[in-house]
Homo-oligomer: A and B are copies of this chain.
Amino acid sequence: MNTNYPGYEQVAVTVDLVVFTVNDDALNVMLVKRAEEPFADRWSLPGGFLRSSESLEDAALRVLKEKAGVEDVYVEQLYTFGDLARDPRARVITVAYFALIPWKELVSSPSDKVTDLMWASATRLPKLAFDHREIVAYAVQRLRAKAGYSNIVYALMPRQFRLSELQRMYEIIMNDKLDKRNFRKRMLATGLLQETGRKDVAGAHRPAMLYKFKKMEIAFLD
């Protein structure tokens, strides 16, 4: 790079991802096992160095594709962590992103090739490398806040779903029980849901109407 700038000192930049999915009644975070020092063999967030030929967002999408094998999912910049001691070897700042992926998109993805990958409950994380525990905590906080005032939860749902599944999603993320009637009233009042006309016939009980989102955009509510 051009080093004409005065005051320039070398700092490395990485991009780390907090990839959320909901499965097994829990909010799960994607972790990868580090192969190299520092923190070899320790679980960590998927990430990588920013290349000089790609934007931050491009880097985040690249990591997401490499590690999770997915594209076209919800990604948002979270925060930039730059404490001096966060990497014991060198000065590295990391731009953290978070991503939301419906579980169904993951089981069909080619990420099975990656062996040193796990999904850990966001509330029961193993020891993580660097300051990644702090990054996850921040991401959970952001996700909960946004679930409260936007329809961001959409990004975790499959294409069609029962209202009870949508309610369960909210309950898992917010870690709270919701009233069925009030929930349905509120959701339908947004005008963002559409009946598909199809019913799901799973189980020994009354079939449920399947819904989908009219648009996939994330919007502020109220």
Contact = CB atoms under 8 A, between A and B. Distances in A.
A5 B12 contact: yes
B89 A7 contact: no
Contact of A1 (B3, B8, B53, B90): B90
A48 B7 contact: yes
Interface stretch (A74-82, A107-115, A119-127, A174-182): A74-82
Interface residues of A, number: 37
Contact of A50 (B11, B53, B89): B11
A82 B50 contact: yes
Nearest to A7: B49
Interface in A14-62: 36, 48-57
A84 B54 contact: yes
A7 B53 CA distance: 12
A10 B5 CA distance: 14
B1 A93 contact: no
A59 to B, nearest CB: 8
A1 to B, nearest CB: 5
